[in-house]
Amino acid sequence: MNKRFGLVIDQERCIGCEACTVACKIENNSIGHWIQVETQKVPQKDTPSGQYPDLKLEWLPRLCNHCANPPCVDACPNEALVKREDGPVIYDQEKCDGCQVCVGACPYNVILYIQEKNTIEKCNLCVHRIDKGLEPFCVICCEGQAIYFGDLNDPNSVVSQKIASREAFQLKPEAGTNPSVYYCPPKPRRRL
Amino acid sequence: MKETNEIKLVRTACPAHCGIDACGILAHVKGDRIIKLEPAEFPNKVDRRICLRGLSSLDITYHPDRLKYPMKRIGERGEGKFERISWDEAYEIIAEKFKEISDKYGWRSIGWVLGGPGAGTTKFGAYLRIASLTQSTRVSAWGYGDAGLPCGSRVIFGSQFPYMYLFGKFWQRNWPELLVVWGANPGESMPLQTMRKIMDAKENGTQIVVIDTRFTVTASKADEFLGLKPGTDSALALGLMNVIFQNELHNIEFIREHTNGPYLVRSDNGKILRGKDIGDKKADSYIIWEESSNSPKPVRRKNLQSASITGTYNVNGIECKPVFQLLKDLTQQYPPEKAAEITGVEANLIIKLAKKLGNTKNVTFFTYMGFTRTCHGDISLRGLCSVASVTGHVATSFSSGYLPAVLNWDPFLKAVPDRPSFHRLGILNLYEAVISGKPYPIKALWFAFINFLNQCVDCNKIIKEFYPKLEFIVQTELFMTPSARYADLLLPVCSFLEFSDFVSHPYPYVQLQQKVIEPLYESKSDVNIVAGLAEKLGYGDYFKGGEEAMIDMITDHSSLEGYNRETLGKGAMLLRALPEGGNFPLNFRTPSRKIELYAEQLVEDGQELPVYLPPIEAPITPGEKKYPLTFIQGHSRFRTHSMFSNVKSLLELNPEPIVEINSIDAKARNISDNDMVTVFNDRARTTLKARISDSVGPGVVNITEGWWIEQFKEGSVNHLTHDIINPVQNKIYEPNMHMNDVAVDIMKYKEGGK
C-alpha cells in the first residue's frame, strides 16, 4: 500500500502561540501565512469565549488538508496543483496563472491568492523535507509538541495511534474530501 | 563575500531574557551569512525546542535599523540626534568623563545598570568585573519586577528562589496528582521548559488548577480556573489554610519536622522564645512544648515529634504560643466567605481546593516572578509557600535528578580578592540616588541590556527628574530604543549570533552560545566593549582573552569539571546525575534552618505572619478610589520584555498595543471593540486600541508589557506606573517595582482631550 502522509494536531496541547505560522513562513520563504491559528468561537484572536470566570480558549491551526479527494486539484485548469501518491497536494508556481478557481473550490479557505506575484500559495507539507526523511518544519518547531506527522496508512504510526485513541476528527467531513489533517479535540475538564 | 554553496552548521543557544527556556539553536551559515535557524538537538530528543521569537532572531540580526557604529549625541537628550565616532574616540570620551566625575564625586557615583542578561552569564560578569575593579556602583535590576519573589523566598525558605522546594521534582518529570499554577502564565512566558511539562503531566493524569487574575493561555489548559482580584493572593492563602485547619487536613509531622511551627513565641513581644528566656544553658536554643512531659524543652531532633503545635502555655510566667497556633489564629479571621469577598473567588471553590490540597498525597505548586509584582507580592509568595508547607507539599530533599551547575562568579563579584568590590544599589533605589543624592549621589550611568525608560516605572519622572540630574549616560544597544535616545554615548552591541557566552540553562543541561558569524558593522559584544574600556582605564589585563577567557573563568568550578568550550561546542550537555538511591537534602538557610511560617525579623513591621495587606494602589473594592480599575501588565509571547517589539515577522501577527477590558467595564463606558481609548491616572495618559475581552475580570485592564513608547498613540504602560517603595522589601533585600498594583480609569479617546 502507498504511504499517505498526514498530520494530527492535538488541540489539547496547542497553546495558540503561532510558532508554526512563523516557522512555516520562514521555511518556505512565503509571502502569506500558510498556517493560520484560529481562536475558536470568537471574532478576535486570543480572546476567550464565555463570561469571566467561566471561559474557554481553544485554538485550531488551519492549513491545507492534503485531501484524499482534493477539489482544488480537480478544479485547476492548468494542472498547477498535483496530488502526490504519498499524500501531499502540492502546487507548481510556474504553472499557476493566478486564476483562483482553486481558491473557490477549496472548502477550507486555505489556499491564498498572492496578488503581488499573481499566484497562489499554500502548505505543501514540506515535501522538500519529507523527501529527505525529515518532518515538516512546523512539527519540529511546535512549542506545545501538538503536531504529529506520519503515515496514515500505517496503523502503527504515531498519527494512526493518535487518531485511534483520541476521537480525532477531520474538518467538514460532509465535503467528502477526506482530509489528511486530523484534529484531536481538547479533553473535558475535570473540575474540583 | 566569497561565493559558496557550502552550508556550515553551528550549534548555539538563544540567551533571550525568557532565560531558562534557553533554546538550543542550529544555525545554517552560507558564506558569512546565516540563512536559517532551527531547533538544535538535545541529548534527550524530547527537549528539542524553539519559540516564535527564537525563530525570528534573524530579523534582529539583519534588521535594517541596527545601530552600526559608536555615536555621540549632538541634539538634546531624547531627540535621537547622534553623530558617528570611532570606538577609540568613544573609549577616550568615557575614560575622560569617568575620571572627571570620579575625581569630583568618587567612583561610586558611577553606576552600571545591568538589565536582564537572560541566560547569558559572562556578558553580565564582565560588567561586574569592571565595577569591582573600579569600586563603582552596580545597580541591581532585581527590583524591576523580580525582587518581590526573592524577598518572600528569603523570609520563608532562606533562599533567593523557592523553585526547587516547590517544583524541582516537577522539572525532573515527577508528575503530581494535582498541580496548582498560581499567578504565573508559563503558557506564554515559559512555554518550553514548563508549559510542555504541564501538558505532559496532564496527559499522565495530573489535575491542573490555575489561580490567576487573568484567564491566560495556561488557564485555558486548566481543569479548574480560580480568577482572583489582583493583589489579594495572601487573602486566598489564608482562606485556604482556614479550611485546611478547620478540617484538620494539615500535615502535623511535616510541620513539626520541617517548619518553625512548633517553636514557642512570647505573647508579650512576639519574639520567639529562646533558651536564655527560661534559664537554659543553651541560650539561643528554640523552645517547644513537649507533650509527653507537658513541659517546655529546648528543641532537639528527638523531641520534635512530640512537640505541641497548638495551645497557649505559661513558661516561667511568660505566656507563649507555638508558631502554628499563631498562624491558625490569623487564618480564623479568613473563613471562606470572607476570603471570597476579598478575592472574588467563590467560597465553595476555596473549600474544594483546600480539601483537595489536604487530601492529596502529591501536590506541586508552580509560580514565578509575575506573582509578586504587587506591593505586597513578597507576602503573597509567603502565603503560597505557607499553604504548601502546612500540607507537606514542599520538597526537602531530592532522591534523583541532576546536580545544579554552580558557576564561578568570584572573579566577577570580587575581581581583586583582598580589595573591596563594587557598591550595590537596587534599581528602585536608584531613582532617589540620582534625583536627591540619597543614600549617595549617582552622577553617571552605563546602561547595558536594559531598555530603562521603556521598562521601568513612571516614565515622566525618569524624563523630567531623573535624566536631567545625570552628567553622563552611556548605553550599549542594538537599536534606537526609547531609552537609547537619552544616551550621551551610544555603543552598538552584537546580537546573540555574533558572540560567545556560557549558558547554564535549561535545567538539566548547560550549553554554549557559540559565535556563529563575526559581529556585523562595528558592533561588539558587551564583553569586548568592557575590555576596550578596561584597557583605557588601566585594567586591560583583567580582560585578556575576551569572551573565551571569560567563559573559561565562569566554568572554573568543580561542579562543571569536564564542561568546557571544547566539550560544549558539540552540543548541550546533561548535568551530573545524583547517585542512584541517594538523598540530597535541600537546606533552608533561614535563621532557624527551617521553613519559617513565622518571621521573627518582621515582628516590628507587623508582617511576621503572611498577613493579608490590600494592594497599595489597585482599587479592589468598587467605588473605593478615584481610579476604579486595576491596571496590570501581562507578558506577550510576541516579545521578551521589550525585545522583538520591532520585528516584522512578529508584528505581522500582532501589529499594535491593545488594552484588554472586561465586557462589563467596556459597556459602562460605551467602549466598543477596536475603539481608540485612553487609559489614565494622575501620572499620565496612554492611548491605544481597546479589546473587549473577558480574559480579565471586571475592574481589571491589561496591556502586555514591552511595547516601545513610540508604538502607542500617546503614553505607554510605564507612564502609568509608580515608584512606591515597600519598606519591608527594602529591609529584606531590595524594593520591587509594583507594575501590577496600579490604579487607572479608561475612556474613549478624544483628540487633545483631558
What residue ranges define each of the domains in chain B, with the CATH number in brackets? 71-136+405-574 (3.40.50.740), 246-334 (no CATH), 629-748 (2.40.40.20)
Residue B619 confidence class, pLDDT cut points 50, 70, 90: confident
Rounded to the nearest angstrom, the minimum Cα separation between A12 and chain B is: 7
B454 in contact with chain A, both atoms CB, cutoff 8 A: no
pLDDT of B2 higher than 60: no
Half-sphere exposure of B321 (CA within 13 A, CB side): 16
Rounded average pLDDT over B357-366: 98
B-chain residues within 8 Å CB-CB of A46? 695
Predicted pLDDT at B753: 62
pLDDT beyond 80 at B19: no
- Rounded to an integer, the average pLDDT of A24-39 is 98
Percent of chain B with pLDDT over 70: 99
**What is the ipTM score, two decimals?**
0.97
Q: Which alpha helices (DSSP H) does A123-181 contain, by range?
A: 127-130, 137-141, 158-165
Q: In angstroms, what separates the C-alpha of B352 from chain A's closest C-alpha?
A: 6
Q: How confident is the model at residue B580 (pLDDT cuts 50, 70, 90)?
A: confident
Q: Are strands B573-574 and B509-513 parallel, antiparallel or unpaired?
A: antiparallel
CB contact under 8 A, B225 and A12: no
Confidence of residue B581 (pLDDT cuts 50, 70, 90): confident
B49 touches chain A (CB under 8 A): yes
Q: What are phi and psi of B315, to 5 degrees?
A: -115, 110
**pLDDT, position A149:** 98
B694, B695, B696, best to mutate vs chain A, most A CBs in 10 Å = B694
How far, in Å, CA of B331 to CA of B242, rounded? Answer: 5
**Interchain contact A82–B (C-beta under 8 A):** no
The verdict on B663 touching A (C-beta cutoff 8 Å) is yes
Beta-carbon contacts below 8 Å between A and B:
129
Least confident of A50-54, B180-184, B576-580, B701-705: B576-580
Average pLDDT of the residues in B291-311: 95
Q: What is the pLDDT of residue B340?
A: 98
**CA A48 to the chain's CA centroid:** 23
- Determine whether the interchain pair B693/A47 forms a contact, defined as Cβ–Cβ distance below 8 Å: yes
| Best to test chain B binding among A44, A46, A142 (most B CBs inside 10 Å) | A46
Residue in chain A closest to B637 (alpha carbons) equals A17
Set of chain A residues whose Cβ sits within 8 Å of the Cβ of B211: none
pLDDT score for B116:
85
> Between chains, do B191 and A17 touch, taking CB under 8 Å as contact?
yes
10 Å CB burial of residue B462 (0-12, 13-18, 19+) is: buried
Record: contact A48-B220, CB cut-off 8 A: yes
Q: In the block, which residue shows the cell 483520541?
A: A166
pLDDT for residue B583? 86
| Whole-number Å distance between alpha carbons of B254 and B629 | 41
pLDDT in tens, B55-108: 999 999 999 999 999 999 999 999 999 999 999 999 999 999 999 999 999 999
Q: What is the pLDDT of residues A66-112, one digit of tens each?
A: 999 999 999 999 999 999 999 999 999 999 999 999 999 999 999 99
Q: How far is B240 from chain A (nearest CA, A)?
A: 14
Q: What's the alpha-carbon Rg for chain A, to the nearest Å?
A: 17
Between the alpha carbon of residue B154 and those of residues B308, B463, B601, B602, the distances in Å are 26, 34, 12, 12
B699 pLDDT exceeds 90?
Answer: yes
A14 reaches B (C-beta below 8 A):
no
Task: Give me the residue from A44, A52, A192 closest to B227, CB to CB.
Answer: A52
pLDDT tens digits, one per residue of B493-514: 999 999 999 999 999 999 999 9
Q: Does B358 touch chain A (CB under 8 A)?
A: no
Distance CA(B130)–CA(B112), nearest Å, equals 9
Look at B649 and A16 and tell me if their CB atoms are within 8 Å: no
Q: Of all helices (H) and strands (E), which one includes residue B527?
A: helix B526-537
pLDDT digits (tens, 9 = 90+) for B418-474: 999 999 999 999 999 999 999 999 999 999 999 999 999 999 999 999 999 999 999
* Axis crossing angle, helix B377-390 with helix B323-331, rounded to the nearest 10: 110
Q: Span B648-665, mean pLDDT? A: 97
Across the interface, whether the CB atoms of B220 and A12 are under 8 A apart is answered no
Mutate to test the interface with B, among A11, A13, A22, A49 (most CBs of B within 10 A): A22
Q: Hey, are the CB atoms on B220 and A58 less than 8 Å from each other? A: yes
Contact A173, A41 (CB under 8 A): no
Instruction: For cell 501589529, name the residue.
Output: B655
Q: Is A44 near chain B, with CB under 8 Å?
A: yes
Are B356 and A192 within 8 A, CB to CB? yes
Contacts of A65 (CB under 8 A, 6+ apart): A108, A110, A170, A171, A177, A179, A180, A181
> Nearest by CB to B199, which of A13, A19, A48?
A13
B227 and A140 within 8 Å at the Cβ level: the answer is no
B218 near B187, Cβ under 8 Å? yes
Rg (CA), chain B: 27
Nearest chain B alpha carbon to A136 = B38
**B28 touching chain A per CB within 8 A:** no
> Which residue in the set B39, B56, B696 is minimally distant from A22, CB to CB?
B56
Compute the mean pLDDT over every residue in chain B, rounded to the nearest whole number. 96
Residue A1 has pLDDT above 90, yes or no: no
Task: List all residues 6 or more positions away from B674 whose beta carbon is below 8 Å from its beta carbon.
Answer: B689, B690, B691
A17 touching chain B per CB within 8 A: yes
Q: Find, among B726, B139, B23, the residue nearest to B450 by Cα.
A: B139
Nearest to A48 among B215, B223, B637 (CB): B215
Residues B698, A144: C-beta atoms closer than 8 Å: no
| B26/A contact by beta carbon, under 8 A | no
What is the distance of C-alpha B472 from the center of its chain? 29
Cβ of residue A140 closer than 8 Å to a chain B Cβ: yes
At B3 the pLDDT is 60
Buried b (16+ CB within 10 A) or exposed e, B481-490: bbbbbbbbbb
Does the structure show a pLDDT above 90 at B624?
no
Contact between B438 and B611 under an 8 Å Cβ cutoff? The reply is: no
| Count of CA atoms in the C-beta half-sphere (13 A) of B235 | 22
State the amino acid at position B43 in one-letter form.
P
B517-570 pLDDT per residue, tens: 999 999 999 999 999 999 999 999 999 999 999 999 999 999 999 999 999 999
Pick among 3.40.50.1360, 3.30.70.20, 2.40.50.140, 3.40.50.300: CATH of A5-184: 3.30.70.20
Q: pLDDT-based confidence at B334, cuts 50/70/90?
A: very high
Q: What is the 8-class DSSP label of residue B463? A: I
B652 shares contact with chain A (CB less than 8 Å)? yes
Does B733 lie at the interface with A, CB-CB under 8 angstroms? no
